[in-house]
Structure 1
Amino acid sequence: MKVIFAGTPEFAAQALDAILAAGHEVPLVLTQPDRPAGRGMALQPSPVKQRAVAAGIEVFQPLSLKDAEAHAKVAALAADVMVVAAYGLILPQAVLDLPRFGCLNIHASLLPRWRGAAPIQRALLAGDAETGVCIMQMEAGLDTGPVLLSDAFPIEGDDTTASLHDKLAALGARLIVDALARLPLPAVSQPAEGVTYAHKIEKAEALIDWSRSAAELDRHLRAFNPFPGAQARFAGQTVKLWAAKPVAGQGEIGTILSVDRDRIVVACGDGALAVSELQKAGGKRLPVQSFLAGHPLKVGDRFDLA
């Protein structure tokens, strides 16, 4: 098939790799403009752009797809289908209608649950038992289109956003290749019940509220790993918590109940959280023993509550 591909991050790049490996023709890749990143804030191409350049594919980085030039560029290719994965731009109806089989979206949730920008993090925060990928026929609404293919797997107790991302990216790559091989596929409308929205993650959400249960805070840490990192405040300083497990324990919320070389146990609203990896602002992620060598914490110390 002749496939136009639109995507930006690593999640999308894996799908592009799979489409190319399956032998499809990809004459054009759409991706977000280069963004400043790193300590020097130099402009960096997206993972999708890097893959496209390496494969010798033309890259198009418009600020919008609503102008006549962008529309004409896509229309001129007479593509069979456009595949979209975490692209970051709204596709107007005029573009959605151009390819012979329309536009297919690779979405990292079990629709209609977690439509929107941050389905992986929201599934973890909510304590969902499973997640998965849907290949969806795109329409004007936000992730409202009918589903062509889907697959699911359980969320494990130690899954983070990073680990789920990798599993979902691999699944999405497999499913889109399967879908392209079988087009046209029957489209199943999403049910009206069970709709939830995965709103974009804001950095302010990363702050830990010790009045919540240990089970909730465990999910909180895993959902904000790797970005932006769950944040606690101690003596006015920000400390990121990267790894923890709920354990039995009680005490004044935010208070350190025990400290040893492997963990710092902190009282929560219900139960306690045994923290095993921390990071001071500007420092490295460290296991407890190494962290304590430079930042002594003791039983009775209390994390800031606001």
Structure 2
Amino acid sequence: MSLRAIFMAKHKRSAARALEWLVERGVEVRAVVCPADPGDALDAQRVDLVAERYGLALSDDRSLYERIAAGDPELQDVDLVLSFLFWRRIERPLIELPRLYCLNFHPAPLPELRGLGGYNVAILEGYREYGVSCHHVAETIDTGDIVRVVRFPIDPDTETALSLDLRSQEELLALFRSVIDEVIAGHELPRIPQGEGRYVDRAAFEQLRVVRPGDDIERKIRAFWYPPYPGAVIELEGRRFTLVDEGRLRELAAIYRRAGWVP
């Protein structure tokens, strides 16, 4: 009998590939939860398009909770709830729904970097090692027992938030495949308590972006460089402006040239 799963994710290339791999691996996906509005996501990033290609049911998380409460038979024999970069807190009874595991795949090392801003903090604080994590979901975000953390070396003096995300997504997808293969093989997953950790919420993240006296400005620009999102900012006359240095301008110029945007 194949495993039955609920897959929850945001539109990202690694998430789309994770869902595709899950189906090809023989897992029966009973519901896919992803943003209804893909925004400016490319087709290769769109989880909903993968779901449509395989004939999988799309849902939003509120509807999912309502279906669980109503005793929907499609959701009564689920083995796995899988969160891959899902952007909202997972609550009961969804945490307790699966027969085996409710797992989250988090794009930062735990317990050091919970919540937002993993890439940014790692560059700002000069981490020489980064990582991605799989953990059991608890009611408090990113605090559940750890299944596995994969760590890899980085150079905080050259990385940008964007480049570190690109590297991390490949590592996270590999971790996803490895962990799910363990489950498919019938192996019991570890439960390693996290202990004390650090959590960055949205308010703290926004404060980190502001350039203040004494900051290493070049490092701060790299730590928040992730177009088209606002980067490191300065505040002038009640408004915020993203800072750009020559290195980032050269990157953009190279992209423009490859796209044929030249006079």
Normalised TM-score (structure 2) = 0.76
Q: Is the CA contact (8 Å cut-off) linking 2:112 and 2:198 kept in structure 1?
A: yes
Structure 2 Cα separation of the partners of residues 92 and 159 of structure 1: 35
Q: Is the CA contact (8 Å cut-off) linking 1:160 and 1:225 kept in structure 2?
A: yes
Q: Is the CA contact (8 Å cut-off) linking 2:230 and 2:242 kept in structure 1?
A: no
Residue-pair matches, total: 240
Alignment match, 2:175: 175
Task: State how 1:33-72 maps to structure 2 within 5 Å.
Answer: 33-34=36-37, 37=39, 47-63=46-62, 66-67=65-66, 72=71
SS of 1:106's equivalent in the other structure is strand
Q: Is the CA contact (8 Å cut-off) linking 1:241 and 1:278 kept in structure 2?
A: no
Matched AA of 2:16: A
- Greater shift in the superposed pair: 22-31 or 99-108: 22-31
Matched AA of 1:200: R
Normalised TM-score (structure 1) = 0.67
Alignment match, 2:190: 186
Alignment pair present for 1:15 and 2:50:
no
Structure 1 Cα separation of the partners of residues 143 and 23 of structure 2: 28
Deviation at 1:68, TM superposition (A): 5.1
Distance 1:20 1:67, change over 3 A: closer
Distance 1:101 1:160, change over 3 A: same
SS of 2:142's equivalent in the other structure is coil
Runs (5+) with no aligned partner, structure 2: 255-263
Describe the superposition over 1:209-261 as per-residue Cα deviations: whole angstroms up to 9, x where unpaired. Answer: 3x3243xx233112211121234579999764444xxxxxxxxxxxxxxxxxx
Higher strand share: 1
Higher helix share: 2
Q: Is the CA contact (8 Å cut-off) linking 2:105 and 2:133 kept in structure 1?
A: yes
Q: Is the CA contact (8 Å cut-off) linking 2:114 and 2:200 kept in structure 1?
A: yes
Distance 1:26 1:222, change over 3 A: same
Matched AA of 2:22: I
Structure 2 Cα separation of the partners of residues 74 and 121 of structure 1: 43
Residue number among 6, 20, 34 corresponding to 1:4 in the alignment: 6
- The structure with the larger Rg is 1
RCO comparison, higher one (Cα < 8 Å, 6+): 2
Deviation at 1:4, TM superposition (A): 1.3
Task: State how 1:115-264 maps to structure 2 within 5 Å.
Answer: 115-156=114-155, 157-183=157-183, 184-192=188-196, 195-200=197-202, 205-209=208-212, 211-214=213-216, 217-226=217-226, 227-232=229-234, 240-243=242-245
Runs (5+) with no aligned partner, structure 1: 39-43, 244-274, 288-306
